[in-house]
Structure 1
């Protein structure tokens, strides 16, 4: 319906398209009388001859106009002009909750509560007015990112208790993923049905998908009737334990077992989040290092960071059928009966002071003896043991299954020779606790990174170059981390067409990531060919259906080494997120703060379905030569942003 842009409907001049649905399209328009910007919803002209469709469309305006609430979009006018039936309403700039979930999910519990509290207030108000929305879903919730305003919209199938039915008995209205069991059975939707749908939206925000997202519509409807949702921990293990108890009640199959109000669920979740925060259980965050030069803007996929959530801790259960109270969730421990204090001898203090004096004298003598010994590093100061590979640094000793505490001295800064290739330099920050490799990036504080855009860093002269030249729809951003056991990588890729048709040694023929390592930074500056300490590793997100994520090492085709790499991926917006853990033992490298290696990361693209072809590659080394480590950049292992 782009043909309306630039035309007038009554006093409204249509300026652009906002979005479109099954029955109507929404435009941005200007009220020429009042001079204000509005949104105008226009019924599809093909439905204008259907009296039920027209009545339902007009009823939306009448129903929503009865609701005067700051979190419900205001209706200004409803009219018809020629074949066009339209509703003029308040324009709310921003994005839908669907956009936010696609880009950022899983969201933290506290952010979920903040976004949904206004929606819950709007729903409770509508229910008190006698109106049931019947189509609560992320696409009908608009968020203004500048003001934080949240509004509920699209009352197209809402029904007031005093309105006649436009739906036949047993007919299901709404969206399958958010339908309550009673709606699936064809029963009348109630306020509890809306509250159930809001619970589904909450589940989706916390996990990234609605409970039965992997099923066809008929199976979804059966699951809404009979199956419990998968536990939250399957998709987001970092949520506070009490979250599951709240969601179990919100998504109860029987309406009487659910929260009686939408705000009741939100307040219960808020209490869980506040209690978890009071325990100070937030896991240590990895702060991605800020490059020396300002990086380009991040891809839209990561404009809003995915922040870590509190780790699981037991809390007091959320009891059913009780309103939230201000009392703390955790009970205070009852003090034990006060014990009588023993009577001390007046000479005890003198003896304690005498013993402390003897200890101080002993420490002083030991210090004088040790300091008189010659220092192995020469007169300038203490020695630094050279780390393997010829660079100075402090090498951490790996402990199987557990990351070691990193050194905290000034020697954690790399001061050795640096590769003078054309590649970008990266810094990997230390993880105190290993991240979960699930492709969701929960443990990464994504607040900086280096973007590889489609306008630069295209690698020339690589093999298969004759098959390149596909559409330039590719960009990506990467974040690097480490601990004593693994190198960690998180990437976000924007790619309008995702294709992966091959596995193993042929995964390069589809969309994938290539990571190149030269573990001998100190002695490999002149070797223009890869040797035993260089690695070319491919990481494939799979196709999110038939082909699973996988890793491959082209330079070391050892099945055991390949199997040691963990990789996971999730589809996100127009692209995907990928996460990997590569054992340092696989690379034959001993990590430590202050160490460095050669590094390059490439993004490979294939936009031709059912065809194994590598069409485009973007690289962190703009003029990288294939298999030539001297053209790569540097990767520095650091403890924090500035060390």
Structure 2
């Protein structure tokens, strides 16, 4: 499929020029539209037949959405049994390239990416389509706007079990795949939300949350290990933790996650991931609480001064006394300030909880060790992970074999 593509004209109008990269199914090329005189990107997205019908369905949905944060579809053409998707040529960098160059993102930029992706995933899910491959390499920057690149080899109709045996069921990089997909469960919107959480976690920390030494270890980590928690960085971190919940039923939807970022239902969202901004009512209560707590300290100091005056002590004695008292006063003041910050953090934590839980009960639960897997559960999960790796390697072998020349293709003569 890649041999001799330069200069080839697809669909009678798209002249292929140079290869840009590879998609989930095949290569991506830069091409020139001879009819509209513009440069476009063409990607091999499937083969003729049943696969072509699926691609056409998903392409119609993408084109109909016409969303500013979704790379749209211009055309579909077929050539030599391969379906090609014609899309705008996005010259900006991908998130993967950004991470390679910068290592990680600031909280403000991470929120911008999260909002852009949630804005496009929400209508896509409402249309009954699961993207299936949300990861940094599929998020591109175009004229200051983050855009999600459609992955037709991984897309599926929500809850459609007919698509799970498609060779693209594990197209997503193992670092970002949802754990339920390892057991070949039907695609659901919650899969995209987990992949989004893994992507955002990568942006914040500079490392995929489940990345290990090899594919098997990575898939095992996705299946049974918890990611490093990010709740300490504010609402964005808590949202990412919720998106990475192993239970898909407990993950927020795209619309719910977007509301969290906007501070829905009167819950303001902090200006940065490290901000401790609170609703005005909560802040005023905390301020009053600290002031009232400082009142006994002030009364104690006044009583000491009055006692010293009654005892007719010298000014030097009073001065020495207050010099000795000052460090303890500052220490006590620091404790009150710390108490204020703790109360503010608890207020934000309670605002994010789906159900009210006493702090002591939450703390006791956090001390309990996770339930150990039975031998049967361990064997089942290991078998699922091994089967996933085998399927992925088989797909790679098939693609390499189809792209490689046959025996004797490069020989000019035949042995006699």
Normalising by structure 1, what TM-score? 0.40
Aligned counterparts of 2:54 and 2:167: Cα–Cα separation in 1 = 18
Report the secondary structure of 1:85's partner residue.
strand
Q: CA deviation at 1:266?
A: 4.9
The answer to whether the 8 Å contact 1:30/1:36 transfers is yes
Q: Deviations over 1:124-163 (max 9, x none)?
A: 010111111111111111112x433534322332122497
Matched, 1:27 2:20: no
Alignment equivalent of 2:224, drawn from 226, 238, 247: 226
Alignment equivalent of 1:154, drawn from 142, 146, 151: 151
Q: CA deviation at 1:68?
A: 2.6
Report the secondary structure of 2:163's partner residue.
coil
The answer to whether the 8 Å contact 2:43/2:84 transfers is yes
The alignment's C-alpha RMSD in Å is: 3.5
Alignment equivalent of 1:256, drawn from 244, 249, 255: 249
Pair 1:330–1:216, CA change in 2 (3 A): farther
Q: Deviations over 1:206-244 (max 9, x none)?
A: 0112111124323322322221102349xxxxx735444
Alignment equivalent of 1:42, drawn from 30, 41, 44: 44
Aligned to 2:20: 18
The answer to whether the 8 Å contact 2:29/2:42 transfers is yes
Aligned to 1:332: 284
Aligned to 2:411: none
Q: CA deviation at 1:114?
A: 1.1
The answer to whether the 8 Å contact 2:27/2:44 transfers is yes
Aligned counterparts of 2:139 and 2:73: Cα–Cα separation in 1 = 16
What stretches of structure 2 of length at least 5 have no aligned partner? 296-416
Pair 1:328–1:240, CA change in 2 (3 A): farther
Report the secondary structure of 1:74's partner residue.
coil
Alignment equivalent of 1:246, drawn from 225, 239, 262: 239
Q: Deviations over 1:533-567 (max 9, x none)?
A: xxxxxxxxxxxxxxxxxxxxxxxxxxxxxxxxxxx
Q: Deviations over 1:406-434 (max 9, x none)?
A: xxxxxxxxxxxxxxxxxxxxxxxxxxxxx
Report the secondary structure of 1:95's partner residue.
coil
Q: CA deviation at 1:202?
A: 0.3
The answer to whether the 8 Å contact 1:42/1:86 transfers is yes
Aligned to 2:325: none
Aligned counterparts of 1:265 and 1:193: Cα–Cα separation in 2 = 14
Aligned counterparts of 1:214 and 1:25: Cα–Cα separation in 2 = 27
Higher helix share: 2
Pair 1:42–1:76, CA change in 2 (3 A): same
The answer to whether the 8 Å contact 1:98/1:138 transfers is yes
Normalising by structure 2, what TM-score? 0.59
Matched, 1:268 2:276: no
Q: CA deviation at 1:16?
A: 2.3
Aligned counterparts of 2:95 and 2:275: Cα–Cα separation in 1 = 29
What stretches of structure 1 of length at least 5 have no aligned partner? 234-238, 278-309, 317-326, 340-643
Pair 1:2–1:104, CA change in 2 (3 A): farther
Higher strand share: 1
Matched, 1:95 2:96: no
Matches within 5 A, 1:325-364: 327=279, 331-333=283-285, 335=288
Q: Deviations over 1:308-335 (max 9, x none)?
A: xx7x67677xxxxxxxxxx569532364
Q: CA deviation at 1:73?
A: 1.6
Aligned to 1:134: 132
Aligned to 1:165: 162
Report the secondary structure of 1:200's partner residue.
helix
Aligned counterparts of 1:37 and 1:170: Cα–Cα separation in 2 = 31
Aligned to 2:318: none
Higher alpha-carbon Rg: 1
Pair 1:63–1:219, CA change in 2 (3 A): farther
Pair 1:329–1:67, CA change in 2 (3 A): farther
Pair 1:6–1:330, CA change in 2 (3 A): farther
Q: Deviations over 1:372-426 (max 9, x none)?
A: xxxxxxxxxxxxxxxxxxxxxxxxxxxxxxxxxxxxxxxxxxxxxxxxxxxxxxx
Pair 1:66–1:313, CA change in 2 (3 A): closer
The answer to whether the 8 Å contact 2:24/2:151 transfers is no
Q: CA deviation at 1:85?
A: 2.6
Pair 1:19–1:205, CA change in 2 (3 A): same
Aligned counterparts of 1:329 and 1:190: Cα–Cα separation in 2 = 40
Aligned counterparts of 2:275 and 2:60: Cα–Cα separation in 1 = 48
